[in-house]
């Protein structure tokens, strides 16, 4: 019998080397025709369901702009965390849309393709007038060439205007495949000649040059990236802990539902995970649900309705999807390298898997459930402690010079 398939699953968008230049959201919501300080008119904005229209509060002493990538919606989430947990901070996420938008993550302002190619005088003037701090995402610039340029091109101009600058990195743009092979035995980049690995290596080498030229504070979204970005600060990913909260029990069904929903099959080790879970499905031990390319709202419901989430088996980390799974109280499985686990201040409630052990670990959970149920319950508290935004705001506090809100 074939594994269960989500009825409205879209074909997954393979983010190959462009994983770093991920598909960003389209549209924006600021009023058309507004003029900057020099009188340059803003282009008309394209309506979109994902741009929030939230703008900076110029009465606050610190006004932070994060952009232009918003990968997995994290620019938006970090902006909300800074506002919620730090005193005197207003924050805004900026996304530079591609012509073919990807998943619909929220962003405060989204520049359409025509806007990016047009006169950006209004954009530059606004930054100088309203912004005090900028956090470059993924090594990209904020003033020009949003997808192909370098943040290095903007540094002198923005500092001359009195802005404080930092940089944050999300993952594949800095996760050096060559170094990953050295540090992680179960690497996703075992073959340096594989097409995706070669493409990622080119992009990483370029971004690492940008990092070397940047003397501002550096942040990373996952603890493994401390291996790849010198002197970085871990700024944990933020997930909607209330959005994922559910009272649905876990592992009470005779045949547990197991979900694998990779954002990128090659980088998640799906070639190891799929056959292992399919065989358990065929043996009648589990109900295997496989999905990719889902809108985030649908993914939320899919996670809530399963018992076990198998995230990845070859990267040695945990990120947004694992944090979301823990927030939902699901049993979360992933390969997290020992030295990465050691960077987490408490025991990480993620069940360890590697490519050879996926089947045995899942089968063991099905047969002996008590320990896994406890791990799932511990995951809820862990997600609320480390991934509700407070820890991310704490990481930003020094850069922004603002105290935590009490």
Residues 227 and 142 reside in one and the same domain: yes
Residue 5 lies in a domain: no
Residues 111 and 126 reside in one and the same domain: yes
Task: Summarize the confidence of residues 363-370 as an average pLDDT.
Answer: 98
Residues 287 and 227 reside in one and the same domain: no
Residue 7 lies in a domain: no
DSSP states along 194-218: SHHHHHHHHHHHHHHHHHHH--S-E
What is the chain's Cα-based Rg? 21
pLDDT band at 362 (very low <50, low <70, confident <90, very high): very high
Per-residue tokens: 15: 């983010």
- Output the domain CATH number for residue 26: 3.40.50
Highest mean pLDDT among 14-23, 97-106, 344-353: 344-353
Which of these ranges, 15-19, 57-61, 64-68, 205-209, has the smallest mean pLDDT? 15-19
Contact 43, 33 (CB under 8 A): no
Alpha helix locations (H) across 90-162? Answer: 113-117, 121-130, 152-160
Distance between CA 251 and CA 327 in Å, rounded? 16
Q: At what angle do helices 320-327 and 370-386 cross, to 10 degrees?
A: 110
Task: Summarize the confidence of residues 34-54 as an average pLDDT.
Answer: 46
* Residue position matching structure tokens 């901070």: 89
Question: 133-137 and 62-67: which strand pairing?
Answer: parallel
Q: Does residue 330 surpass a pLDDT of 80?
A: yes
Residue 333 lies in a domain: yes
Report pLDDT for 63.
98
What CA–CA distances, in Å, run from 393 to 43, 52, 257?
33, 21, 35
Question: Which of 172, 170, 46, 27 minimizes the C-alpha distance to 105?
Answer: 27
Q: pTM for the complete prediction?
A: 0.86
Residue 260 lies in a domain: yes
Burial 149-178 (b: 16+ CB within 10 A, else e): bbbbebbeebeeeebbbbbbbbbbbbbbbe
Distance between CA 154 and CA 94 in Å, rounded? 16
Neighbours of 264 (CB within 10 A): 19
Residues 194 and 58 reside in one and the same domain: yes
Task: Summarize the confidence of residues 81-86 as an average pLDDT.
Answer: 98
Distance between CA 378 and CA 291 in Å, rounded? 26
| Cβ neighbourhood burial of 181 (10 Å; 0-12, 13-18, 19+) | middle
Distance between CA 380 and CA 378 in Å, rounded? 5
pLDDT band at 46 (very low <50, low <70, confident <90, very high): very low
Residue 374 lies in a domain: yes
Residues 110 and 131 reside in one and the same domain: yes
Residues 177 and 249 reside in one and the same domain: no
The residues with which 402 forms a beta bridge, in sequence order, are: none
Domain carrying residue 164? 17-236+389-400
Residues 192 and 273 reside in one and the same domain: no
pLDDT band at 177 (very low <50, low <70, confident <90, very high): very high
Residue 406 lies in a domain: no
Q: pLDDT tens digits, residue range 277-328?
A: 999 999 999 999 999 888 888 999 999 999 999 999 999 999 999 999 999 9
Length of the chain: 406
Report pLDDT for 113.
74
Per-residue tokens: 184: 């992680």
Residues 230 and 316 reside in one and the same domain: no
pLDDT band at 103 (very low <50, low <70, confident <90, very high): low
- Output the domain CATH number for residue 336: 3.40.50.2000
The proportion of the chain whose per-residue pLDDT surpasses 90, expressed as a percent, equals 76
Q: Residue 341 is inside which H or E element, if any?
A: helix 338-341
Residues 109 and 193 reside in one and the same domain: yes
Q: Does residue 387 surpass a pLDDT of 80?
A: yes
In the chain, the number of structural domains is 2
Q: pLDDT tens digits, residue range 226-239?
A: 999 999 999 999 99
């Amino acid at each position: 019998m074939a594994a269960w398939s989500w009825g409205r699953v879209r074909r997954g968008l393979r983010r190959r080397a462009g994983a770093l230049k991920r598909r960003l959201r389209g549209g924006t919501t600021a009023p058309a025709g507004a003029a900057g300080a020099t009188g340059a008119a803003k282009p008309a904005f394209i309506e979109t369901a994902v741009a929030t229209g939230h703008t900076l509060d110029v009465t606050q002493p610190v006004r932070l702009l994060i952009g232009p990538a918003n990968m997995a919606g994290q620019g938006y989430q970090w902006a909300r965390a800074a506002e919620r947990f730090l005193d005197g901070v207003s924050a805004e996420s900026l996304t530079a849309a591609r012509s073919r938008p990807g998943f619909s993550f929220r962003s405060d302002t989204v520049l359409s393709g025509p806007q990016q190619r047009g006169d950006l005088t209004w954009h530059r003037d606004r930054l100088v007038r309203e912004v005090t701090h900028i956090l470059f995402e993924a090594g990209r610039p904020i003033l020009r060439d949003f997808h192909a340029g370098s943040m290095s091109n903007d540094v002198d101009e923005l500092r001359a205007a009195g802005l404080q600058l930092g940089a944050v990195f999300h993952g594949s743009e800095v996760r050096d495949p060559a170094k990953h092979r050295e540090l992680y035995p179960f690497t996703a980049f075992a073959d340096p000649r594989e097409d995706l690995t070669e493409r990622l290596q080119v992009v990483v080498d370029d971004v690492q040059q940008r990092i070397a030229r940047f003397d501002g504070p550096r942040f990373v979204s996952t603890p493994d990236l401390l291996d790849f970005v010198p002197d970085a600060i871990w700024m944990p990913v933020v997930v909607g802990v209330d959005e994922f909260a559910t009272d649905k029990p876990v592992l009470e069904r005779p045949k547990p539902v197991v979900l694998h929903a990779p954002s990128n099959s090659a980088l998640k080790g799906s070639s190891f995970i799929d056959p292992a879970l399919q065989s358990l499905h065929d043996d009648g031990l589990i109900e295997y649900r496989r999905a990719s390319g889902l809108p985030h709202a649908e993914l939320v419901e899919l996670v809530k309705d399963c018992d076990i989430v198998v995230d990845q088996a070859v990267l040695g980390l945990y990120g947004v999807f694992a944090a979301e799974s823990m927030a939902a109280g699901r049993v979360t499985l992933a390969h997290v390298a020992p030295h990465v686990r050691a960077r987490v201040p408490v025991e990480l409630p993620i069940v360890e898997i590697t490519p050879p052990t996926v089947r045995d670990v899942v089968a063991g959970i099905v047969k002996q459930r008590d320990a896994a149920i406890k791990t799932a319950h511990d995951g809820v508290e862990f997600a609320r402690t480390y991934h509700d935004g407070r820890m991310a705001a704490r990481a930003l506090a020094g850069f922004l010079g603002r105290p935590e809100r009490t």
